[in-house]
Amino acid sequence: MYKILFLLLFSISFTINAQKNIYESPNFDELSDNHTTLAILPFLANLDLKNKMTPEDLKILEEKEGYAVQNAFETYFSKRSKKKKLPVEFQNTKNTKAILAQKGIDYKNIDVYTIKQLSEILGVDGVISGTLDLNVLLSKGVSTDFSITDYFSGNANYGRIGVKISDGTTGKLLWKYEKQINKKTGKNTTDLIDRMMKLAIRKFPYERERKKDRKNK
């Protein structure tokens, strides 16, 4: 009984915290009115692992984690679009990578380009991007066994993720969602993104009903 109560309170607290960590531009409707296609960029990852390795090997792992998030978002939006049509489409990530590669842009130098530049190169109206701070290799899968001692000791914390949607024409931030990653978040990258977006979906700005409701206010 106590375990069920704890999990219920944890879930409620988690959901409330998720809503607090969401920002939406007051000019979202104006800036996104003509949006039809968004590109999903690889996330910029920062790993703080316990095991020692060379800086080169660490960079390789960070790149892998960054692309794993990109792929997980594509998977999520693909499933979401089958359940409910969104007013925007998402550029195939293989096409995104290919177009960027043709311009000499890859994970190692993508951060030196602006949102406006990347959107123009990709031919999209906006981009989804973000950062990932981890102390585990989430793409390989992690333990989800949870105890109350883990929660208080900090052993349940794996890092933090920040997701941004930016307007391609102006480069302005439209929407941002930040969330801590822990044992209850998900067992791998795909699971993380799926659970995270399910919590945030009521605040996701491209939901048709929500956009309609804002215009009627």
Q: For position 121, which CATH number holds?
A: 3.40.50.10610
Three-class secondary structure of residue 72 per DSSP: helix
Helix (H) or strand (E) holding 57: helix 55-83
Nearest to 92 by CA among 60, 64, 124, 120: 124
Angle at 89 between CA 83 and CA 94, to 5 degrees: 105
Whether the pLDDT of residue 208 is over 80: the answer is no
Q: What pLDDT, on the 0 to 100 scale, is given for residue 86?
A: 86
Q: What pLDDT, on the 0 to 100 scale, is given for residue 4?
A: 44
Share of the chain above pLDDT 90, in %: 53
Structural contact between residues 47 and 135, judged by C-beta atoms closer than 8 angstroms: yes
Our count of domains for the chain comes to 1
* DSSP conformation letters of 135-150: SS-GGG-------HHH
Q: What pLDDT, on the 0 to 100 scale, is given for residue 26?
A: 94
Residue with tokens 């949870």: 146
Is this structure's pTM higher than 0.85?
A: no
Burial of 26 (0-12, 13-18, 19+ CB in 10 A): exposed
Q: What pLDDT, on the 0 to 100 scale, is given for residue 93?
A: 97
Residue numbers of the domain that contains 66: 2-216
How far is residue 18's CA from residue 5's CA, in Å, rounded to a whole number? 20
Q: Which amino acid is at 162?
A: G
Q: What pLDDT, on the 0 to 100 scale, is given for residue 149?
A: 44
Tokens at 163, concatenated: 């997701």
Structural contact between residues 96 and 40, judged by C-beta atoms closer than 8 angstroms: yes
pLDDT digits over 105-150, tens only?
999 999 999 999 999 999 999 999 999 998 888 887 755 544 444 4
pLDDT digits over 38-63, tens only?
999 999 999 988 888 899 999 999 99
**Which residues are 179's β-sheet partners?**
161
Share of the chain above pLDDT 70, in %: 79
Q: What pLDDT, on the 0 to 100 scale, is given for residue 165?
A: 97
